[in-house]
A and B are shown apart, each in its own frame.
Chain A
Amino acid sequence: MKYKGYVGRYALIDLTRQSIHIEPLDEGLARNYIGGSGFAARILYDMLRPGIDPLSPENVVVIATGPLTGTLWPTTGRYMMASKSPLTGIWGESHAGGHFGPELKYAGFDYLVITGRSERPTYIYIDNGRIELRRAEHLWGLNVHEATDAIKEETDPNAHVACIGQAGENLVRFASVISDYHRAHGRTGVGAVWGSKRLKAIAVRGDGEVEVADLEKFMELVEDAHERVLKHPQARDLAKYGTPLLVGYKQSIGEFPTKNHWTGVFDGAKELMAEVLKERFWVRDRACFSCRVQCKKVYTVKEGRYAGIVSEGPEYEGIYSFGSNLGNSDFPSIFYANYLCNNYGLDAISTGCVIAFLTECVERGIVGRDEVDGLDLKWGNHEAFIELIHKIAKREGIGDLLAEGVKRASEKIGRGSEYYAIHVKGLEVSGQDGRTHRSIGLSHAVASRGADHLRGLVTVDQLGYEEIAAKRWGRDKLPDICNPYSEKWKALAVKTTEDVYAVRDLLIVCWYTVSWPPIYWIEDFAKILPAATGEEAFGRVEELLKIGERVVNLERCFNVREGITRKDDRLPRRFIEEPMPEGPGKGQTVNLDLMLDEYYDLRGWDRKTGIPRKETLERLGLIEEIEDLRRMGRLPE
């Protein structure tokens, strides 16, 4: 392998045949796709036949790191998983922090590809280049904590374990994979794919190394990068309060989604402010691998029905999904709900959202109180919400329907409930709202995995980042580009941001410090990547952006093959038709089509269909994809 930064190998694990192949990392793959999401997009596009059932043995899971994983660049503990999503039927991907990713590299693997379905429950133990498939009947049925404990006992107390809980086993369509007990690959249901493959866990132990090409240069950049995190006031705030810090920001701009995204102002928000949590529940801080932010907050609840647990607490998204979006200001219940999700292996966002959907349906009389297993479903009744989490994970009673996600559940219920199913392409909407932040409206609509808050959320078009916005898009775009209630320039902002974030997800580094607070940007990647890998071409910003764009387009092609077109790039009708009822954004709605036209033009996608044009794919070197789309009759004229 001519490049440094990588460890130079991957493993192909076939659970049907119970076989393991270890192969050298392809240099071309590294050159054209860098790592992480790029590796996954290339591999899944090539391996998956369009139209397969995501829960069949034909689905494939890619688990990937990037060339910076395991190094001293800040926030390089991230790793990712991808497969066809059982929740959305399209591109599925999720990233997590912790220590598993670096350990996988130290064990000698840049990525893993897992195929087939085991006859019986299995777990994979990777110990320094040796991969073993082990029986897991005794672990099937255990929650995440119990299974992780048992596997560490059987393998190595210092092994890093990623596993599913009962939700993944029960094929809950938004089941997560949890590593190191608390770090969640939450979105798009990769946990259900593991469950369908009867894969309970992967444990990894590695003593190896990651070497960089130009150590002196690398360390010079690292020193500067660490300094910038330490000096950034918002990074310091994040260190102090964690992502709950966002509760205050979001409430102040009227975008703290409340009661199933009905409004953006939550009257109970003051109970959920980061300062309040710090004072009442905080125990200590934790960080992921090589991170100076330490945004993980360990909390405990001392009294009441949820007392006794010490655990890493909910992020902003968990506080939104079990708090404001359920009209619930009781933090102990939010903390407990988040804990339960991580222990059952459920995505905290989708879980809260399906409960919010059902609660609104009951509150509006669309679903009868007699249809919800006798639960007293109403805004703020956290005892009923907690009960539903158990039911969803076990697929019991009404939980069996909710385990399908809001899209399928609403289609089954009918009766106009579809209006209250707040999702894009089947993925429940995260804690943002296009009505008060137009760019996220566009981003939710077009992102490859559905309503996504991580792949295109522009953060610098509000909250006073005019200087940064001017630097990125030109001073002539001010003030409109920083007006969150205007559609103007938002297509441009989202397009660039998606391309840069795509590169972020190849390296792989964290959302925090890149996306918010805005500390590192593409110029920083263009400096560190050549020092890490030795590939000079990675030192050109245009080249990196082209690679980012390539990944965005490849994921789009993946989705187009599954039938996605412009008609699917929609927002929930609530965001389009129902003006924000109160707060600073009162009266706002999203004019999505205006932004979509511009976005497709900038992307080189056909306005009518939203499908990448031949010239676009050619420019990005996606030649076979042109043929594929043509053969399916989907290539724009």
Chain B
Amino acid sequence: MKLLIIDYDLCSGCRVCELICSMEHAGVFKPSISRIRVVKNDKLSIDVPLVCIQCESPACVNICPAKALSRDEETGIVRLNPDKCIGCNLCILKCPYHGVFKTPDGVVVKCDLCGGDPRCVKYCPTGALQYVEESPETKAKREKSREKLLKLLKEYELEKPALRIARVGGSGA
């Protein structure tokens, strides 16, 4: 099994990940439907990529009332079944890492690691996005990365922008 790990110190905020993600999933350049989003505090020059990190015990799976979310025990990928999704936003609100999004059309989307070969990792120019074999070291690294994310979101007041990027409750202001 492999893990998606983010080194937040390396993200330069170029949003190539958003572009390749929307291209891969919809054939257009459209960050608003991307499964990965970079939230920014431009004043302080901070860039934080938000994406599902495929938790072992995902809050989204546990909270989903429609059983639209499930974790593939073999690959570790947390998948969303769009046919079952009722668009209640609970997964978006409950994910502590802000890894679930809504498109402008109200469709909930999340990363599926492109089925095991994430394109964003391949395209990331800085190595901020890494996809590595699971090991005690990499698991520890990911744990640290999660803590760092929570710290960054708090320190740079990114909770509100992160939720707005997810466009909870639709695309209007």
A residues contacting B by CB (< 8 A) are: 70-72, 98-99, 106, 127-128, 145, 148-149, 155-158, 180-182, 205-212, 215, 219, 226, 230, 283-292, 294, 296, 298, 310-312
Contacts and interface: CB of A to CB of B under 8 A. Distances in A.
B43 interface: yes
Nearest to B158: A157
B32 A208 contact: yes
Interface residues of B, number: 36
A298 B45 contact: yes
Given A158-B164, A209-B28, A286-B12, A310 B125 contact: no
A215 B27 contact: yes
B125 A292 contact: yes
Contacts of B12: 285-287, 294, 296
B15 interface: yes
Contacts of A155: 173
Nearest to B44: A310
Contact of A289 (B15, B44, B161, B173): B15
B55 interface: no
Given A157-B161, A209-B29, A291 B171 contact: no
Given A286-B47, A289-B14, A207 B32 contact: yes
Contacts of B27: 211, 215
B126 A284 contact: no
B99 interface: no
B30 interface: yes
B30 A156 contact: no
Contacts of B165: 158
B39 interface: yes
A202 B142 CA distance: 39
Contacts of A206: 32
A106 B47 contact: no
Contacts of B32: 106, 206-209
Nearest to A205: B173
Nearest to B160: A157
Nearest to B45: A298
B104 interface: yes
Interface stretch (B16-24, B69-77, B88-96): B16-24
Contact of B104 (A180, A207, A294, A310): A207
B31 interface: yes
Given A128-B171, A294-B126, A287 B13 contact: yes
Given A98-B42, A209-B26, A230-B125, 6 more contacts: A209-B29, A209-B32, A284-B9, A286-B47, A287-B13, A312-B45
B141 to A, nearest CB: 19
Nearest to A183: B42
Q: Which of A99, A127, A149 has the most CB of B within 10 A?
A: A99
Contact of B125 (A182, A205, A219, A287): A287
A210 B29 contact: yes
Given A219-B23, A284-B45, A226 B171 contact: no
8 contacts: A70-B29, A72-B20, A72-B29, A106-B32, A128-B104, A158-B164, A294-B12, A310-B45
A106 B43 CA distance: 22
Nearest to B14: A287
A226 B125 contact: yes
Most buried by B among A72, A127, A155, A288: A72
Interface string B31-66: 111000001101111010000000000000000000
A312 B29 CA distance: 28
B25 to A, nearest CB: 12
